[in-house]
Amino acid sequence: MRRPVGMMMLVVAALALPPGGAAAQSLAIEPRERLLSMTGEGSVHASPDMAVITLGIVSEEASARAALDANTQSMTRVLDALRAEGLEPRDLQTSGFSVEPIYSQPPRDYDHSRPFQPQIVGYRVRNSLIVRIRDLQRVGAILDQGITLGANSVSGPSFTVADPKPLEEEARRAAMRDALKKGELYAQAAGVELGPIFRIEESYSRPPQPLQAAAMRMEAADSAVPIEGGELTFEAQVSVSWLLAE
């Protein structure tokens, strides 16, 4: 006699009959399959090996031409300095460029009962550069240099890894080991015997979101920005179902 399974959750799935006339004429009914399903979770921790920052230059002048020239000069200085630091072309990428008019604003004592007609009083040029830094020891110095040479809109750094696949795969292996261990434990506790694996489904494999550095502070003109890379966590979840032995 088979022992009761107690509080353990058993997932029971019925095999569906195929559609059509052949199914309607068949008198044989497939037996129901008794399944045990478990979810395993795995995580892997790793130190980042790459930082990503965005250096932006915003220039405002009376004419679009003057704003563009000023912006180009500043961005050229930044690019030349980064190349001189040994950054590779693949690690420098323009991410955004725009030219837009600047409109006048009503004075504080303006009578708002009358419509205000804004006028173009200048032009604004924005140019943003994504910089990938593969030597984390240089992140602070490169940030400092970029700001010194004209970058006035900075975001990041965000930390990541250049090749996440091995870490993602290890998280998946850990999730599978967790599911197998749980399956054996629950089957033993319930007094049932596991049959072959019926189904494996990955619930998610979550790469880490780029880790943002804490608020940065500039200590002195000749001092690099203090930066800490922290740690990244790769996560995965898998669902495994076994047929229960008769």
Boundaries of every domain in the chain: 11-20+29-46+164-244, 50-106+116-160
**Of residues 38 and 11, more confidently modeled:** 38
CB 87 within 8 A of CB 131: yes
pLDDT for the residue numbered 223: 52
Instruction: Say what the pTM is.
Output: 0.69
Cα angle value 217/84/216 (rounded, 5°): 10
Is 11-20+29-46+164-244 a domain of CATH 3.30.110.170? yes
Cα 42–chain centre separation? 18
pLDDT for the residue numbered 32: 62
Whole-angstrom distance, CA of residue 101 vs CA of residue 63? 9
Flag the least confident range among 29-33, 123-127, 235-239.
29-33
pLDDT value at 95 more than 70: yes
Say whether 187 sits in a helix, a strand or coil.
helix
Cα 91–chain centre separation? 18
Cα 39–chain centre separation? 24
pLDDT for the residue numbered 220: 34
pLDDT value at 205 more than 90: no
Matching CATH topology for 11-20+29-46+164-244 and 50-106+116-160? no
pLDDT value at 203 more than 60: yes
pLDDT for the residue numbered 212: 57
Fold of the domain spanning 50-106+116-160: Alpha-Beta Plaits (3.30.70)
Q: Nearest-CA neighbor of 233 among 212, 208, 214?
A: 208
Q: What is the DSSP letter of 12?
A: E
pLDDT value at 46 more than 80: yes
pLDDT value at 126 more than 50: yes
